[in-house]
Amino acid sequence: MSNVDYSIRGRIAVIAFQAPPVNSLGFALRDGLVSALERASADAAVDGIVLIGSNGTFSAGADIREFGGAAVRQGPTLWTLNSLLDSMPKPVVAAIEGVALGGGLELAMSCHHRVALATARVGLPEVKLGLLPGAGGTQRLPRLIGIENALNVMLSGEPLSVGMFAKSPLFDAVVETDLLGAAVKVAETSAAALKTGQALPRARDQRIREPDLEALMGFARNTVKTAFKEYPAPLAIIDAVQFGAKNGFDAGQAEEGRLFKQLMDGTVSASLRHIFFAERAASRIADLPADTKPRNVQQVAVIGAGTMGSGISINFLNAGIGVRLLELNKEALDRGVVRIREVFEGQVKKGKLDVAKLEARMALLKPVLAYEDIGDADLVIEAVFEEMSVKEQVFSKLDAVMKPGAILATNTSTLDVDHIAAITQRPQDVIGLHFFSPANIMKLLEVVRGAKTAPDVLATAMTLAKKIKKTAVVSGVCDGFIGNRMVHQYVAQGMAMVDEGASPEQVDKAIEKFGFAMGPFRMGDLAGNDIGWHIRKRQYASGSHVKRQVVADRLCEMGRFGQKTGSGWYDYKKGDRNAYPSPVVAGVIDEARKAAGITPRKIEPAEIVDRLVYALVNEGARILEEKIAQRASDIDLVYLTGYGFPIWRGGPMRYADSQSLYEVARRMRAFGAQPGGDAEFWTPAPLLARLAAEGGSFTGGAA
C-alpha cells in the first residue's frame, strides 16, 4: 500500500510519500508522485516542492517484485517520473533520510536539489541484482560526483554514508536534524533565485570533466573483466557511462535503457533477483506463529574444541557473546584455544582486526573441563565425534546439568536429531545447528528442526543466526539434512562416471568450468575421504542395498584419505595445495573397470555437468516433496552458501527451472536409457515428473 500526502508550508508544497516497508517505487507510488508533482506544478500558491518519505526513509529504489513482469513498464514508469522532474518549472528538493538506493537515488538526482540527514545512506546497488542503474543513474551520478567516484559507487553497489559526498554537488546540504525544515529552506532559496532569472540546476546539464576518459574507462574495463567474469552488469555500467560521456545525456540515457532491458531479460539478473528474495524468504517459517518470542541467549557453551567446536566458538566471540568451551582433557582444550587465537591473529596480520579487539574476544572465551561450569549457559552446542554413543553420553550429561530452558543443540552432520533429543527429558529444547567447515567462515547454517523442537527454540536459532551473520535455512530431520543428502547423490554420480570412463580430473574440470568452486573429487580430498568411507562401511555392514564404491573404498584402504594424508583422488606435494593427477589412482580405476567388465567410454563435459547437477536436482525434488525443505529457494541457498554452487546460476533448483523441467526430466530419462545407464537412479522424482508434465517450475521463476 502506498500513500502520497500533499501539504503546504508557506509557499512550498511538501509531498510526503510512503510505501512500507522501504518505499520501493512500484506502480501505485509512481502514479501518486506524478499526480502530486503535476498538482504542485499547477498550484499558483506554490513556488517550490519538497519530496520526502513520511516513514523515516526515502526509497530503496524500483520495486524488484515488478521485475521480469509487465508492471515494471506500466506507466507512469520511473523514466516518466524522472523526465517529469527534469521539466518541472519550479524547484524540487529531495529530502533524504534512511536510504536512497537504486531508483530512489535516481529519483533524488532528477530533483534540482538534495538535502540529507547525516545518518542517511545512498547507493546504486543494481549491480548486485545483475542490473545497471536504469533510471538515469549512469548519466546523472557521473555528472554530480565525477566519473571515477560514480564508477566506484555503481560497481560496488554498497550503500554509503552521505557524509562521503557532503561536499559534492550531490548534496546541497547535509544536516543533523530538522531535515524537512532544511529542505523547505533550500526550496525557498532556489525559488527566489529562479525569480531573479537563474536557471534551475539539473544534473543532466552538468558537464563531465574527465581529461583522459579513454584511459580511465580502459582501466575500469580491464579490472571488471577479471573480477566479474560471469557477470555482464559491471561492463554494461562502464559502457553506459562512457557512451553518455562521449555522446551527451540523452544518447547516454537511451543506451542505458537499452542495456538495462538486456540485463533484465538475461539469466544472471534473474538468478540474482531470485537469490535476493530467497535470502529474505528463508527466515520465514510457515507454521511458526508471528508472535513467537525467541529465548534470551547471552551465554553460550560449546562441547568439543576440535575443528568445528573452535570455528563455532569464533562466531559467537565475534558477536560479543561469551563462550564456555568444554573438552575431554586439558591438552585437547589447550589445542582448541590456540586454534581460536591463531584465527584472530591471522586477522590481525591481515589488518582486519586490532590487537585490543583480539584480546577482548579472547577474554570472552572461558575454557572449562567440567560440565558443572556450563550449567547456566543459555545455549549449548555439541561438536564432539560423529558417533551416536558419544552423542548419547554428552546429551544425557547436558540433560542433567543444564538449567531449565537452556537450548541443547547438536552440530551433527548425519545423525538422527530426534534420536538425540529422545536421550533427554526435554526434547522440545533440542535442535540441530549444522555449521559448515570452516565454521567461522562459511555462511551457511542448517537449522535442523526435530519432531519435538519447540517453536521458540526454532525462533531463537533463526534470530541468533542473524546475530552471528549466518544464512540460516531450516531443514527437517533426514539422513544428511538438505545439503549432504543431495551431495551424496552428486558424489555418487561423479564416481559412476569414473567407473564408466571419465577420470576424476575430467569430472572436476567440467563442473568447475560450469562454475562450482571445486569438483566432487577435489572436494572429497579436502574434506577427507575417510568420512564417507566410514559411513559406507556402516551401510555395507547393515546389509542395506547400497552400491559398493570399489574405487573409493580401495583408495581409502590404501590410506589415501585426501590432502591430510598427502594423497587421495589426487597426489599432493608438501606445502602445495594443487591437486596432481595420480598414476596410482588411474591404475586402481583401470583395475576396477576390468574386474567389472566395463569398456571405458569418453564422457563429454556437457554430460558430466548435466549428470552431476541433475543428481542434485532430483534429490532436491524429493526433499521438497517430503517437506524436509520448506521451499525450493531454501535448497538453492544451501547450495549457494554451503557448497560453492555458481551464484550467477541461482542454485540447482533455479538452474533446473531455467532449463525447463520438461527438458531436465527428458535428459534424465535418456541417461537412464543409455548403455550401462542406471534407470532407477535417473527416474525423475514424482514432484519433478509432475511439474515437468504440467510445464511448472520449482521456484516459480520463468524458464
Query: Residue 314 is which amino acid?
Result: I
* 413 binding partner (options ligand NAI, ligand 3HC, none; Cβ < 5 to 8 Å by kind): ligand NAI
22 is a contact residue toward ligand 3HC (CB under 6 A): yes
264 is a contact residue toward ligand 3HC (CB under 6 A): no
Q: Which of 59, 77, 318, 413 binds ligand NAI (CB under 6 A)?
A: 413
Q: Which of 327, 429, 446, 610 binds ligand NAI (CB under 6 A)?
A: 327
* 78 binding partner (options ligand 3HC, ligand NAI, none; Cβ < 5 to 8 Å by kind): ligand 3HC
62 is a contact residue toward ligand 3HC (CB under 6 A): yes
**CA-based radius of gyration for the chain:** 29
328 is a contact residue toward ligand NAI (CB under 6 A): yes
* 322 binding partner (options ligand 3HC, ligand NAI, none; Cβ < 5 to 8 Å by kind): none
Only one residue has cell 535476493, namely: 276
Q: Which of 80, 189, 223, 437 binds ligand NAI (CB under 6 A)?
A: 437
133 is a contact residue toward ligand 3HC (CB under 6 A): yes
Nearer to ligand NAI, 1 or 370 (CB): 370
24 is a contact residue toward ligand 3HC (CB under 6 A): yes
Q: Which stretch binds ligand 3HC (CB under 6 A): 97-105, 142-150, 481-489, 657-665?
A: 97-105
Q: Give every CB contact of residue 177 below 8 A, 6+ residues apart in sequence.
A: 117
Kindly write down the DSSP assignment for every residue of 585-647, as one continuous string: HHHHHHHHHHHHTPPP----HHHHHHHHHHHHHHHHHHHHHTTSSS-HHHHHHHHHHHS---G
CA distance 334 to 329: 9
* 327 binding partner (options ligand NAI, ligand 3HC, none; Cβ < 5 to 8 Å by kind): ligand NAI
Q: Give every CB contact of residue 553 below 8 A, 6+ residues apart in sequence.
A: 533, 536
Pairing, β 113-117 against β 322-326: unpaired
Q: Which residue, judged by CB position, is nearest to ligand 3HC in the bound state?
A: 102
Pairing, β 160-161 against β 322-326: unpaired
Whole-number minimum distance, CB 498 to ligand NAI, in Å?
23
SS (H, E, C) 581-595: ECHHHHHHHHHHHHH
Query: Residue 634 is which amino acid?
Result: D
* 385 binding partner (options ligand 3HC, ligand NAI, none; Cβ < 5 to 8 Å by kind): ligand NAI
Sheet holding 379-382, edge to edge: 365-368, 322-326, 299-303, 379-382, 407-410, 430-435, 444-448, 471-475
Q: Which of 103, 432, 568, 642 binds ligand 3HC (CB under 6 A)?
A: 103
447 is a contact residue toward ligand NAI (CB under 6 A): no
CA distance 684 to 703: 18
Q: Which residue, judged by CB position, is nearest to ligand NAI in the bound state?
A: 306
Whether 126 is a known active-site residue: answer yes
Grid cell for residue 68: 521480469
CA distance 489 to 494: 9
63 is a contact residue toward ligand 3HC (CB under 6 A): yes
* 21 binding partner (options ligand NAI, ligand 3HC, none; Cβ < 5 to 8 Å by kind): ligand 3HC
Give me the catalytic one of 38, 97, 126, 557.
126
255 is a contact residue toward ligand 3HC (CB under 6 A): no
Whole-number minimum distance, CB 137 to ligand 3HC, in Å?
6
411 is a contact residue toward ligand NAI (CB under 6 A): yes
Q: Tell which residue, 113, 114, 110, 138, has the closest CA to residue 124.
A: 138
Q: Which stretch binds ligand NAI (CB under 6 A): 150-158, 183-191, 323-331, 607-615?
A: 323-331
Total chain residues near ligand NAI (CB under 6 A): 25
Whole-number minimum distance, CB 434 to ligand 3HC, in Å?
24
Total chain residues near ligand 3HC (CB under 6 A): 24
* 22 binding partner (options ligand NAI, ligand 3HC, none; Cβ < 5 to 8 Å by kind): ligand 3HC
* Burial state string for 492-506 with b = 16 or more CB within 10 A and e = fewer than 16: bbbbbbbbbbbbbbb
Whether 106 is a known active-site residue: answer yes
* 390 binding partner (options ligand 3HC, ligand NAI, none; Cβ < 5 to 8 Å by kind): ligand NAI
Pairing, β 92-96 against β 12-18: unpaired
Interaction pattern, residues 352-391, with ligand NAI; x per rule: CB under 6 A: -------------------------------xxxx---x-
The distance in angstroms from the start CA to the end CA of the chain is 30
Nearer to ligand NAI, 24 or 475 (CB): 475
* 579 binding partner (options ligand NAI, ligand 3HC, none; Cβ < 5 to 8 Å by kind): none
Whole-number minimum distance, CB 22 to ligand 3HC, in Å?
4
CA distance 642 to 444: 5
142 is a contact residue toward ligand 3HC (CB under 6 A): no
303 is a contact residue toward ligand NAI (CB under 6 A): yes
138 is a contact residue toward ligand NAI (CB under 6 A): no
From residue 196, alpha-carbon distances to 44, 49, 190, 193 in Å are: 18, 18, 10, 5
Pairing, β 160-161 against β 121-123: antiparallel
Nearer to ligand NAI, 328 or 518 (CB): 328
Q: Which of 102, 142, 309, 650 binds ligand 3HC (CB under 6 A)?
A: 102
Whole-number minimum distance, CB 130 to ligand 3HC, in Å?
10
Q: Tell which residue, 264, 245, 244, has the closest CA to residue 254.
A: 244
Kindly write down the DSSP assignment for every residue of 96-153, as one continuous string: E-SEEETHHHHHHHHSSEEEEETT-EEE-GGGGGT---TTTHHHHHHHHH-HHHHHHH
Interaction pattern, residues 41-60, with ligand 3HC; x per rule: CB under 6 A: -------------------x
Answer for the pair 276, 654: CB distance below 8 angstroms, yes or no. no
The H or E element spanning position 689 is helix 686-694
Q: Give, in degrees to the nearest 5, the angle at Cα 211 between 205 and 214.
A: 100
CA distance 253 to 242: 11
138 is a contact residue toward ligand 3HC (CB under 6 A): no
Q: Is the dihedral of CA 479, 482, 487, 490 positive or negative?
A: positive
**Which amino acids are annotated catalytic?**
106, 126
Catalog residues that contact ligand NAI under the rule CB under 6 A: 303-309, 326-328, 332, 383-386, 390, 393-394, 411-413, 435-437, 527
Catalog residues that contact ligand 3HC under the rule CB under 6 A: 21-22, 24, 60-65, 78, 99, 101-103, 106, 125-126, 129, 131, 133-135, 137, 280
